[in-house]
Amino acid sequence: MRPSPRAISLTVLSLAIVLITTWLIWIAWDATASDPMTTLAPLSDNADAVQGLYNFVTILAGIVMVGVLTLTLAFAVIFRERAGHEPQQIHGNSRLEVLWTLIPVAIVIAIALPSFSVIIDTTGDAPDDALEVVATGNQWWFEFEYPGLDVTTANELHLPVDRAVNVELRSEDVIHSFWVPQLSGKVDMVPGHENRLWFTPHETGMFLGQCAEFCGTSHANMRFRVFVHAPEDFDAWVASQAADAEPAQGDLALAGEKIATTLCAACHTIRGTNAVGQIGPDLTHIASRTTLASGMFENNSENMAAWLANPPGEKPGSIMPNLNLNAEQIEQLVAYLQDLK
């Protein structure tokens, strides 16, 4: 029997669809793998483990999909209606029924075993020498404290490479979620409850993080950055951050310091001064951060001035109110804050 022209065109069409789909998936994969918010290019041990599991399940599912679709197409062609051909009449087939029950059971077991193993490894205790960090979600920014190192910072988490970090997750108000796609997460930050996660970054660089649980008006603006350093660079960062704030130098900065330690002191801490507020980010070393307002703006004098002039105008819903500062006060504050390296 020679295949009919219809069967041939059907086969060619299906092959074309498979090829085009594979090509589109490849393009999408390639594009996202270089995206900073990708989970497809993991750079920590635990992210590697999760990605390995995804790859395994995707390949297994791909084999099942190709097998099922091929058989469906083949049977549609082989057993199509033909004149003078009566299909064989049967009442089930026990051997087949047992077989197609056992195959899915085997597949589920093949997926379950490595899944449990990865879950147990990644959610188990962090290694003993892990760096301890407390990350607290606030509407709409992240606080990072390093117990024992005298360091408190905001929105920019610094870590040493190749050392595990044990992050304790808390929230000051509503539920947030800690997510650095290339390194770790997501794990919720829940008020009144401590969650935790750990991972070991194995490459230096800057990685983007994002609150991943809707938490109000500026949820989308609640971002953070993770800087992974060589160990000696991390130690230098800790030493500079643990120091008190630089005393103001020059008239402009001195005037700014006066405003900061009165008007801003109820909400912000500037270590080494009488500003000990806990509502907003620690400003002791604000000038050493690359961004302002949880990753929204590059940290420079212009953006700092715009922020001080009208925080809710810059960041919808901002808990820092518009303090109606005049241009002179803003200039003095910027001069002071940009010296707090």
Asked if residue 221 lies in contact with residue 293, where contact means CB atoms within 8 angstroms, the answer is yes
DSSP reduced 3-state for 135: strand
> What H or E segment, with its residue span, contains residue 134?
strand 131-138
Residue 215 contact, options ligand HEC, Cu ion, none, Cβ 5-8 Å cut-off depending on partner type: Cu ion
Confirm or reject binding of residue 211 to Cu ion (CB under 5 A). yes
Confirm or reject binding of residue 245 to ligand HEC (CB under 6 A). no
Residue 211 contact, options Cu ion, ligand HEC, none, Cβ 5-8 Å cut-off depending on partner type: Cu ion
Q: How far is the CB of 41 from Cu ion (least distance, A)?
A: 24
Q: What is the DSSP string of 229-278?
A: E-HHHHHHHHHHHHSPPPPP-SHHHHHHHHHHTTTSTTT-B-TTSS-B--
Asked if residue 45 lies in contact with residue 165, where contact means CB atoms within 8 angstroms, the answer is no
Q: How far is the CB of 154 from ligand HEC (least distance, A)?
A: 4
Backbone φ and ψ for 147, nearest 5 degrees, come out as: -60, 135
Confirm or reject binding of residue 154 to Cu ion (CB under 5 A). no
Confirm or reject binding of residue 320 to ligand HEC (CB under 6 A). yes
Q: Bridge-partner residues for 205, per DSSP?
A: 228
Cα separations in angstroms, 124 against 143, 169, 286: 24, 15, 35
Confirm or reject binding of residue 293 to Cu ion (CB under 5 A). no
Cα separations in angstroms, 283 against 99, 149, 254, 318: 66, 17, 16, 17
Confirm or reject binding of residue 140 to ligand HEC (CB under 6 A). yes
Confirm or reject binding of residue 28 to ligand HEC (CB under 6 A). no
Distance CA 174, CA 104 (A): 42
Stretch near Cu ion under the rule CB under 5 A, chosen from 22-30, 56-64, 222-230, 280-288: 222-230
The candidate with the shortest Cα–Cα distance to 255, out of 337, 340, 341, is: 337
Question: Given candidates 158, 268, 271, 285, which one binds ligand HEC under the rule CB under 6 A?
Answer: 268
Residue 57 contact, options Cu ion, ligand HEC, none, Cβ 5-8 Å cut-off depending on partner type: none
Residue 330 contact, options Cu ion, ligand HEC, none, Cβ 5-8 Å cut-off depending on partner type: none
The candidate with the shortest Cα–Cα distance to 339, out of 245, 240, 236, is: 245
Stretch near ligand HEC under the rule CB under 6 A, chosen from 54-62, 68-76, 233-241, 288-296: 288-296
Stretch near Cu ion under the rule CB under 5 A, chosen from 3-11, 91-99, 173-181, 273-281: 173-181
Confirm or reject binding of residue 321 to ligand HEC (CB under 6 A). yes
Question: Given candidates 210, 280, 314, 339, which one binds ligand HEC under the rule CB under 6 A?
Answer: 280
Residue 27 contact, options Cu ion, ligand HEC, none, Cβ 5-8 Å cut-off depending on partner type: none
Quickly list H helices, 283-322.
Answer: 301-309, 311-314
Footprint on this chain of ligand HEC (rule: CB under 6 A): 140-141, 154-155, 259-260, 263-264, 266-268, 279-281, 283, 286, 289, 292-294, 308, 315, 318-321, 323, 333, 337
Footprint on this chain of Cu ion (rule: CB under 5 A): 176, 211, 215, 222
